[in-house]
Chain A
Amino acid sequence: MKTLLTVCAGVIGLSLNMAHAATGADSYNLVEKGRYLTTLGDCTACHTLPGKPLFSGGVILDTPFGKLAGANITPDPGTGIGRWTFDDFQNAMSKGHGLDGKLLYGAMPYTAYTKVKREDNQAIFAYLQTVEAVDNKVETNQLPFPFNVRTSLIGWNLVNFTQGEFKPHPDKSEQWNRGAYLVEGLGHCGTCHTPKNLIGGDKNDNFLGGANLQGWVAPNISSKAHDGIGAWTEEDIVKYLKTGANRFDVASGPMAEEVEHSSQHWKDDDLKAVAAYLKDGAKPADAPKPIAANDAAMVAGKAIYADRCSACHTPNGEGVEGLFPKLAMGPLINSADPSSLIRVVVAGSRAGATDAAPTAPAMPAFGWNLSDDNVANVLTYVRNTWGNAAPAVSSGDVKDVREQLRPK
C-alpha cells in the first residue's frame, strides 16, 4: 500500500514549433534547466494565480499608473504563447517586444531580462512548452488612458531601457559574475529593490537602494552599511534566501512569497554567488546620529516597547533567530521609509514557510489597540535604539498607512 512517488518529466508535451530544439536526453536536460530557471526567475509570481493552473496568468500588479495583469504563458495557441517561436520569446525577454512587435510594459521586467543569455532563454522556452496548455484569456493592459497607449513605451524605453546580454566583468571572479548575472538579470531583484523615477523606470544610479511598492518597503540591499544589509555576512544572505529567516530577520510580505516560490529552491552555489556579489565593496558607513533617548517620543516609545514588544523581540532588540526578527541594526528598521514597519505593527504580518524553516511565525496586529501616536512613538524608539538611527515616525505617517490598508 506504499505510495510510490513517480516523477513525470512531461517531455511529451513538447509542441511542434519546437522542431529546432534538441531531442531525447538533451531535450530532457534542456527542459529541466528551463524548469530551474523559471523557478529562479519566479515567473509564477506574476503568471500564476494561487489555486489556478501553472502560468495561466491573471495576477494583478497594482502599479502607480494603474493595473496590469500577468499574461497567460502556457502553450495555449489562442490565449497563451502557443503560436510563439523561440525568436518571439527571445524578443520578449531581450527587447520587451510581444508577438508582432507589440511593446510590453516594464512590469514584465525585460529591463532586467534583457541580460539573460540566449541559451538560458532557450531552456526557459523549452520548459514552458511542456506545461499544460490552458485556455484563459487575460487582459494584460488594464491601465487608464493615456498609459494604456503602448506607443508611449517607445519614449519610455529610450529613457529607461538599455538592451543587451550580461557582459562579464573580466576583473571580477567567476562567482561574482554569476551573482551579478542572477541579480541584475533573471533574478530581477532591482524590480522591487531599486527606487523608481517619476515614470516608473529604475534609478540605476541607486541600484538596489530600496523602494516602496504596493505598500511594502523593499529595503536597501546594496552593500551600504547602515540601512543596507551591510551588517549581514554572505552566510546570512544565503540563509535568508534559502530558508526565509536568518539571525537578523524573517521574510514577510512579498519577500516571503519570493522565498516560498523561488529562492528556497535556488542551488546553493547560485545563492552564494548572489551573496558574494551583493557584499562586494561593503564598507562601514557613517551612521546618522540617533534621536536623543530623552526625546518625548523616545520616552513614550520605550514604555510601549517594554509592555507590548519586548516579550518576543527581547528587551535588547536582539529577537530570536528564525522566530522574532532582530530589531537592532535591521535594514528595514533603519530604512528612511518606515511604511513597512508601520504596516506590520498596525496590520500584522506572517512569515513565509519553507521546508528548512517551517514555523511561519506571525507578527500580531496591534492596530486595534495602539493609537497612531502609540505606533509612531514605539517605532521612533525602535528606529533609534540599539545602534539604530533613522528619522522619527509621525502619527501622520501611521494615519496614512492605515488609510492605505482600509479595504477599498
Chain B
Amino acid sequence: MAKKLPSTDVVVVGLGWAGSIIANELADEGLKIIGFERGPWRDTATDFNLASATDELRYSRRQELMLRTKQNTTTMRNNVTETALPMRTWGSFHPGNGTGGAGNHWAGISFRFQPHEFRLHSYLSERYGKELSPELTLQDWGTTWEEMEPHYTKFDKLAGVSGKAGNIKGVIQEGGNTFEGARSEEYPNPPTAQTYAPTLFAEAAKNLGYKPFPVPSALVSRAYTNSLGVKMGACTFCGFCTNYGCANYSKASAITTVLPVLIRKPNFTARTNCEVIKVVMDSTGTKATGIIYMDGNGDEYEQPADLVVISAFIFENVRLMLLSGVGKPYDPVTNTGTTGRNYAYQTANSVKMFFDDKNFNPFIGGGAIGMGIDEFNNDNFDHSGLGFVGGGSTRVTPIGAAPIDSRPVPPGTPAWGSAWKKATVDNYASTMSIGCEASSYSTRTNYLSLDPTYKDPLGRPLLRITFDFPENDRKMAAYVTSKVTEIAKSMNPRQMVPAAQTGHWNSAPYQSSHIVGGFIMGADPKTSSVNKHLQVWGVPNLFVVGSSAFPQNPGYNPTGTVAALAFKAADAIRTRYLKRPGEMISV
C-alpha cells in the first residue's frame, strides 16, 4: 500500500525539456511544485566534466545517458498479425534518463514546424483533394501558427538558438530558410561558423538554384546569457555532441538553461530516482488526484496534487495514460479510441560520398553545425501526380567522427582485417554525407498499446509499438533521396551510396529518436486526447505534454516544438486555468 504524502499544488512528471519548462513557469506563479524524475539528477559541473565527457565507449557505445532497458523498454512489431518482442538493447531510438532527459544527448537542431503543419489534414485536402492517400490518418493540431509562434520565440531565447531568419514578419530574409513561417524576430544568436563539408554542400546546392541556410542550432554560436539569466559558452565544435552531455555549457538542455534557476526556487522540489507508476484518478474518472511513485529504495508513495502534468518521453507519456485508464485505448480495427492513436516516426535517408581529393577534418563538428536546404521538405514542392505527400529536411551536419563509430568504408570492403584498416585510413577524412530527415505520416495501423506478454520490473505491461513505414513515406523517401543524389553528383565524388528508407521498419539500427503521437492534440475529443492547451479532454486538471501530442511528424526535428508546446501549456495554465480551473475548451 502506498504511503500517502501531504498534498501539493502541482506534480510534474519528467524533468526533461517539457517538464522543466512547465515547472519553472508555474513556480513563478508561487505554486508549490514537486518534479519527479525516474533517473538521477544530472548537472554539467558534476556529470559532464570536460576531462571525461568525451568518452565514446562510455557514452556512445555503452549509452550511459540512456534509459536502461532492464528498467523499462518497449516491445515492437511491424503489424497486428505479428507478436511483438521486447527491445533488449536500444537500436532505432535513444530514450533518455535523468534530469535533462533526451535533451542532454540531443543534436541541438532547432527547427520550428511550418504554419501549414498545424492544419496539415485540411491543408493537404484543400490542395490535393482525392489524390491524398486513404492510407493516411493525418490530422490538424487544433491550433495555429499564430498561436504557436510566441512560444517558439520563448524557446529560442531560452536555448539561445543560433541561426539566420528566412522570414521576419512576412519579409523574406536573404541567407535564411525562406520556407519557414513568419517569425516575430531574428534568432537570438547568429549562425555558428561552418566546417568544410557543409560549406561545400551549400555551394553545390546554390549552384543548382537552391537556397541553402545555416541549420538552426541550440549549440550556441557565442557566449550567451539566456532569458533566465543562465550563462552558456560558445560551441567549440568538439565533436562529442549527439549522444553526449555538453561539457562546455554550449548545448542547450534543461540542465544548461532551466534547472539551475528552477532548483533555487524554494517552492520547487525535485524527487529524482523516483519512478511514477500511475496517475491516480477519482471515482468519476474526470479528475486526477495525484500520482503513485516508487522511490530509489523501492518504497511506494502516493503524492496528491491539485494539478498533474505528465511531461515524460513520449513512450512513458502514453504508457502512463494507458496504465492509468485515461482516455479510451485506440483500436485499429474499429478505428475508435484515442490513447495510442496516430503513432509516427521519422524517415531517415542519406547519400554518402567518398572523395579522393578532399580532407574534411571530420572530427571537428557538432550535432547542429551545418547547412541545409528545404526545397524537398513537407509541402514545399508540388506533389501533384507524385503519388505521395511529405518530404524531408536536407542537410549536412557532421557531428564529429569519433574513433569507434566512424569508419566510413565503401560497400564491398571487408568488415575486418588489413583491407578494412587500409580503407579506413583512405576514407576517414575524405568522406561526407548528405542527410534527409523526412516526414512520417500517421496511418490507421501504426499505434501504441500495452503489451499483453512483457512486463517491466514492477510488473506493469511494457508499451507495444506497432509500426511500419507507410507506402506514402517509402515513395517520398525514394523521391527525396533521388533529389539529394543529384546534388551529391554535382559535387563529383569518387563514389556515392544513396540510402533511401526502404522496406519494413527494423528496430536494430539507430535511425532517429524522433518518435511522435499516441496522445495527440486536436479540436475533437473523438480523435484527439488533449486540446490545444495540452489539457486532457474530460480531465481538466491533467496535462500531457511532449511529442506524444503530435498528430504526425513533419520533416523536421521535434525538440523545438516540444518545448514550444510546454511554454504553450504553461501559458494557458498561468493565464486561464488558474483563474478558472476547469475545461478550457468545451466541445
Contact = CB atoms under 8 A, between A and B. Distances in A.
Interface string B320-360: 00000000000000000000000000000000000000000
Task: Categorize the interface residue count of chain B.
Answer: 20 to 34
A357 interface: yes
B51 A365 contact: yes
A321 B233 CA distance: 9
A320 B233 contact: yes
A368 B51 CA distance: 9
Contacts of B307: 1
Interface in A1-51: 1-5
Q: Which of B44, B50, B261 has the most CB of A within 10 A?
A: B50
A323 B223 contact: yes
Interface stretch (B208-216, B224-232, B398-406): B224-232
Contacts of B225: 322
Interface in B221-266: 223, 225, 228-234, 236, 238, 247-249, 260-261, 264
Given A3-B31, A323-B233, A353 B260 contact: yes
Contacts of B44: 361-362
A320 B232 CA distance: 9
Interface in B29-78: 29-32, 44-46, 49-52
Nearest to B305: A1
B9 A3 contact: yes
A321 B248 CA distance: 14
Given A1-B31, A322-B225, A355 B231 contact: no
B547 to A, nearest CB: 28
A366 B51 contact: yes
A364 B233 contact: no
Nearest to A323: B231
Contacts of B578: 2
B233 A3 contact: no
B32 A3 contact: yes
Given A311-B248, A312-B233, A320-B234, A360 B30 contact: no
Q: Which of A1, A322, A365, A366 has the most CB of B within 10 A?
A: A1
A369 B51 CA distance: 8
Interface in B7-44: 9, 29-32, 44
A357 B249 contact: no
A65 B232 CA distance: 43
Contacts of B248: 311-312
Contacts of A361: 44-45, 231, 249
A360 B229 CA distance: 12
Contact of B267 (A3, A353, A359, A365): A3
Contact of A322 (B45, B50, B231, B306): B231
A159 interface: no
B121 to A, nearest CB: 38
Nearest to A322: B231
Task: Categorize the interface residue count of chain A.
Answer: 20 to 34
Given A323-B223, A359-B260, A1 B49 contact: no
B236 A359 contact: no
Contacts of B236: 311-312
A350 interface: yes
Contacts of A284: none
B202 to A, nearest CB: 26
A359 B249 contact: yes
A307 B247 CA distance: 15
Contact of A358 (B9, B30, B238, B261): B261
A356 interface: yes
A324 interface: yes
A191 B49 CA distance: 33
Nearest to A2: B30
Contacts of A350: 45
A189 to B, nearest CB: 26
Contacts of A366: 51
A399 B585 CA distance: 68
A364 B267 contact: no
A323 B231 CA distance: 6
Nearest to A320: B223
A106 B50 CA distance: 41
A363 to B, nearest CB: 9
A304 B232 CA distance: 24
Nearest to A362: B45
Q: Which of A322, A364, A365, A366 has the most CB of B within 10 A?
A: A364
B575 to A, nearest CB: 14
Interface string B557-587: 0000000000000000000001000000000
B30 A3 contact: yes
A366 B52 CA distance: 9
B503 to A, nearest CB: 43
Given A361-B45, A365-B49, A365-B51, A1 B229 contact: no
Interface in A310-343: 311-312, 320-324
Contacts of A320: 223, 231, 233-234
Nearest to A354: B264
Contacts of B49: 348, 362, 364-365
Contacts of A357: 229, 231
Contacts of A308: 51
A362 B48 CA distance: 10
Contacts of B267: 3
A356 B229 contact: yes
Given A3-B9, A311-B238, A359 B231 contact: yes
B290 to A, nearest CB: 13
Interface in A201-217: none
A384 to B, nearest CB: 24
Given A3-B9, A321-B223, A323-B249, 15 more contacts: A1-B9, A3-B31, A3-B32, A3-B267, A5-B30, A311-B50, A320-B234, A321-B231, A356-B229, A358-B261, A359-B249, A359-B260, A360-B45, A364-B50, A368-B51
22 contacts: A1-B9, A2-B29, A2-B31, A5-B30, A312-B50, A312-B236, A320-B223, A320-B233, A323-B233, A323-B249, A357-B231, A358-B229, A358-B260, A360-B45, A360-B260, A361-B45, A361-B231, A361-B249, A362-B45, A365-B49, A366-B51, A368-B51
The 4 closest A-B pairs by CB, nearest first: A362-B45, A364-B49, A311-B236, A359-B231
Interface of B: 9, 29-32, 44-46, 49-52, 223, 225, 228-234, 236, 238, 247-249, 260-261, 264, 267, 306-307, 578
